[in-house]
Amino acid sequence: MKNLPHKTIERLSQYRRALLNCLANGKTHIFSHELAKLQHITAVQVRRDLMLIGYTGTLRKGYNVKELIDLIGTIIDSENGINVAIVGMGNLGRALYNYFSGKRTKLSIVATFDKRYEKIKEDYPEIECYNTAEMEKIIKEKKVDIGIMAVPAESATTIADKLVNSGVKGILNYTPKPVNVPKDVYLEEYDMITSLEKVAFFVKKQNDDV
Amino acid sequence: MKNLPHKTIERLSQYRRALLNCLANGKTHIFSHELAKLQHITAVQVRRDLMLIGYTGTLRKGYNVKELIDLIGTIIDSENGINVAIVGMGNLGRALYNYFSGKRTKLSIVATFDKRYEKIKEDYPEIECYNTAEMEKIIKEKKVDIGIMAVPAESATTIADKLVNSGVKGILNYTPKPVNVPKDVYLEEYDMITSLEKVAFFVKKQNDDV
DNA sequence: CCTAAACTGTTAACTACTTAACAAAATATT
DNA sequence: AATATTTTGTTAAGTAGTTAACAGTTTAGG
């Protein structure tokens, strides 16, 4: 199964969540076109992705929901779990925290960091928040694998460097500032402003084209 | 210049912000490899993008920062501005609000919505927040072009339908639930869980491969 | 039992995007 | 003044991702 395309990985994550939903509704089998509809993609896309991961369904019955969930798990989850830290506990950091907390068993938020960690602890006592100054120490102690950056653009570079020095293996950067990391650290960046400007562009274009 | 690739649009948004920074630092010209470095992409990529938008620099001096900013503006901005609304003012909604408020002159957040709009108004009096029940009315009144969805997954479908019915031309969906919209509404979706799971996959893979 | 319908799995064609290669031109160096 | 260097713009090649087409197989219906 060697090298799955990036886009397939993304879709697998989404298939799994859709499938978990189906399972909860008591659905045991699903057709490629049903799964496709849930993600607004095509049935061929689904079949191709599943072909790539070597899963084969039953003709006329479709795919076994439970089996497929498990198979996707073996591909994208790590057996021993992955430890995640969030840096920056402003609105975005807390949004991410609430999103992820306790949802995926194999991904756990084991620490959060903020310059004003005392304020965070006071306002949200349930969040385990440390001083950003202690980042390197705590990340090593808690064996954090992935750091999520939700700090202001100005601190992006500093924080990325600190994360790298602490030994994380992956960074998810929500800062609008692109950061540089050594190639053995996997970097994923997402920029909300770009997304909104992109939507704005196509909305404008649509008006112009009509 | 007809049809720019999606990826080019995204990069243009990012080039512009990098260039605005340069301008603020008094830099008047920039080489393709400098701009590339700021975005961790290649110089060829930059040159190709600029070729596509028909901008040409000066040999040995590079690109004129001011000119390029303006040109990108004519491409991605709408002359009359674009009105944006955020639906769901939890942590994520407020993060988005703070991000965008007052930054881009051509994109303005003209309204926000929340089921518990009274609480929001009380806690954040500076935010103009309306009851989600009034969405359709207010969106029409305020001529909102783009709706950003930051509500829980359960409400995704309902809110998307409401936005479409109110006549928005673009939707940016931050819900983990994919939504369906008519094809004349431009839809962009981003799913944080998928991104994190993707990073986790590649972190795991890196371990396995070594 | 035969035919039609409904699906899957897979190859092949296509489309989108990125990178390489290089000619042309401006400046710098000798 | 001649040569080397730097940088752009563009074509061509290469890579990644999507979609079409269809053979093959199971079930359903006549």
pLDDT per residue as tens digits for the range B65-98: 999 999 999 999 999 999 999 999 999 999 999 9
Residue A101 is predicted with a pLDDT of: 83
Contact with chain A for residue B207, Cβ under 8 A: yes
Which nt sits closest to A61, CA to C1'? C7
The size of the A-B interface in CB pairs under 8 A is 168
Pairing of strands A63-64, A29-30: antiparallel
Rounded to an integer, the average pLDDT of A54-76 is 95
Q: What are phi and psi of A197, to 5 degrees?
A: -65, -35
Residue A1, pLDDT > 70, answer no
Work out the minimum CA distance from A74 to partner chain B, whole angstroms: 10
Q: What is the DSSP letter of B143?
A: T
Average of per-residue pLDDT values in chain B: 96
pLDDT class for B105, splitting at 50, 70, 90? confident
How far apart are alpha carbons B166 and A172 in whole angstroms?
35
Cβ within 8 Å of A, B 15-34: 17
Q: Find out whether A176 and A153 touch, Cβ atoms under 8 Å.
A: yes
Residue A124, chain B, CB below 8 Å: the answer is: no
Q: Which of A199, A192, A197, A195 lies closest to A174, judged by CA?
A: A192
Q: Which residues of A touch B38 (CB under 8 A)?
A: 178
Rounded Cα gap, residues B158 and B100, in angstroms = 25
> What proportion of chain B, given as a percentage, has pLDDT over 90?
92
Contact B120, B86 (CB under 8 A): no
- Which comes out higher in pLDDT, residue A105 or B148? B148
Q: How long a stretch of residues is chain B?
A: 210
* Contact positions of strand C to protein Cβ (< 7 A): 6-11, 16-21, 24-27
Task: For residue B146, name the pLDDT band (cuts at 50, 70, 90).
Answer: very high
Which member of A178, A195, A200 has the closest CB to residue B38?
A178
Residue nearest the C1' of D7 (CA based): B60
Query: Which of residues 156 through 185 in chain A touch B, CB cutoff 8 A?
Result: 169-172, 176, 178, 180, 184
Distances A70 to A16, A18, A23, A67, B56 between C-alpha atoms, Å? 9, 13, 12, 5, 53
Question: Hey, are the CB atoms on B199 and A170 less than 8 Å from each other?
Answer: yes
**How many angstroms separate the CA of A158 from the C1' of C22?**
39
Distance, angstroms, CA A79 to C1' D24? 38
Q: Would the CA dihedral through A127, A131, A135, A140 be positive or negative?
A: negative
Query: Comparing A170 with A208, which gets the higher pLDDT?
Result: A170
* A196-210, B38-52, B70-84: least confident range: A196-210
For residue A195, which residues of chain B lie inside 8 Å, CB to CB?
Answer: 172, 188, 190
B residues 73-112 lying closer than 8 A (beta carbon) to A: 75-78, 82, 84, 90-92, 94-96, 98-100, 103-104, 106-107
Which sign does the torsion angle of CA A85, A87, A90, A91 carry?
Answer: negative
Instruction: Name, in order, each residue with C-beta under 8 angstroms of B109's C-beta and a sequence gap of 6 or more.
Output: B84, B85, B86, B97, B100, B101
Strand C at less than 7 A from CB of A24? no
Residues 51-70 of A with CB under 7 A from strand C: 51, 55-60, 62-63
| Residue A45 structure tokens | 């896309």
Q: B148 to chain A: which residues are within 8 Å by CB?
A: 196
Question: Residue B117: which of B127, B107, B108, B109 has the closest Cα?
Answer: B127
pLDDT band for position B1 (cuts 50, 70, 90): low
Whether residue A7 lies within 8 A of chain B, CB to CB, comes out as no
Is the separation of the CB atoms in B188 and B173 below 8 Å?
A: yes
CB within 8 Å: B9 and A201: yes
The arithmetic mean of pLDDT across residues B177-188, rounded, is: 96
The whole-number pLDDT of residue A84 equals 97
Res. B206 pLDDT band, cuts 50 70 90: confident
Among candidates B98, B104, B172 on the partner chain, residue whose Cβ is nearest the Cβ of A195: B172
Tens of pLDDT along A68-101? 999 999 999 999 999 999 999 999 999 999 988 8
The CA distance from B97 to B86, in Å, is: 8
CB of B40 nearer than 7 A to strand C: no
B:131-160 residues touching chain A, CB 8 A cutoff: 145-146, 148
Q: Rounded to two decimals, what is the model's pTM?
A: 0.95
